[in-house]
Amino acid sequence: MHRSSIRVSLWKSHLNAIDTAIDVRGLNKYFGDKHVVKDLSLTVNRGEILGFLGPNGSGKTTAIRMLCGLLTPDSGEGHCLGYDITTQSDAIKREVGYMTQKFSYWEDLSIRENLDFVARVYELANRKHIVDEALETLGLTSRSSQLARSLSGGWKQRLALAACMLRHPKLLLLDEPTAGVDPSARRDFWEELHQLAAQGVSVLISTHYMDEAERCHKLAYIAYGNLLAQGSAQSIIERQRLFTYEIMGDRLMDISKSLEKHSAIEQTVIFGSTLHVSGKNPQAIEEVLSAEHYKSIPTSLEDVFIYLMKQTHDNYGETRDTI
């Protein structure tokens, strides 16, 4: 058997021995007097894709850096890939693939040269074959001589993922990897993630896109350092017990402002040519809407996350009223 094939086989065997990729409890992180992450508890199982959602500045990146050993939590405990996150950070770094928000590879090198350089840094044996394998897996072979600076966002994303996969990590931590990437490239990227998950790789991915959130096995929503919800998309929607109605027509902004005055209305959100109206009491809502043409619709994940945002306070104690 070829050395690379043996390596992949051993990698998959090791993956199968892991039941829980991430299991942390009560993580806290302060920067000065700012409490950035508050009592965070997360569990990610083997082969599971966890979508990590929340507004900018919510603590997602700080949490990810604690999980992969780049930051030490001020308090809390837990394990990543079986290693203690506070005392075995070096071991975690060796077995995790981490994609940052910003493209962090070398613009003046080709795709192949970038991957070869990363393989050299990792001191990987049989380097050429490993790079060839990564190029083939991510569909980069035909572009391998192209300079990184000339790549579109989608191809840069593939290069970054290929670099992450050179060591066959058991866990991928992806910090908004599809920001600014076109829908077709995002779809291809997600197909790659699901293929990796099917092989037993665990994925934690932060995103602002609701369509991507719905492709995750499980979600965690964090705002101002607080974990507000965790579970499947459907379970998160059901737990909020929101009833939602849709109004179509003109004057949606005027209607929205008028409806916000009623205690039965928890929120109003305009989506293009429609207005979503949500609350806890359907009878009371329908009484308020009696003068409008409306229909009942399923509450969406986006409706729920907007609602959750409005229930939280920022890190300086000021209520946030809008997104």
How buried is 178 (Cβ within 10 angstroms: 0-12 exposed, 13-18 middle, 19+ buried)? buried
- Map tokens 């035909």 to a residue: 142
Residue pLDDT tens, the chain, 323 long: 444 444 444 444 444 445 889 999 999 999 998 999 999 999 999 999 999 998 888 888 899 889 888 899 999 999 999 999 999 998 998 889 888 877 778 989 999 999 999 999 988 888 899 999 889 888 889 999 999 999 888 888 888 888 888 888 899 998 888 877 778 878 888 888 999 899 899 999 988 888 889 999 999 999 888 999 999 999 999 999 999 999 998 889 999 999 999 999 999 999 989 999 999 999 999 999 998 899 999 999 999 988 988 877 654 444 333 33
d(CA 198, CA 217): 12
| Segments making up each domain of the chain, as ranges | 3-232, 243-298
Q: For residue 41, count other CB atoms closer than 10 A to its CB.
A: 14
Specify the CATH number of the domain 243-298. 3.30.70.100
Q: What are phi and psi of 227, to 5 degrees?
A: -80, 115
3-232: in CATH 3.30.390.30: no
Beta strands 96-99 and 267-271 are unpaired
- Tell me the residue type at 95: E
Enter the pTM of the model: 0.81
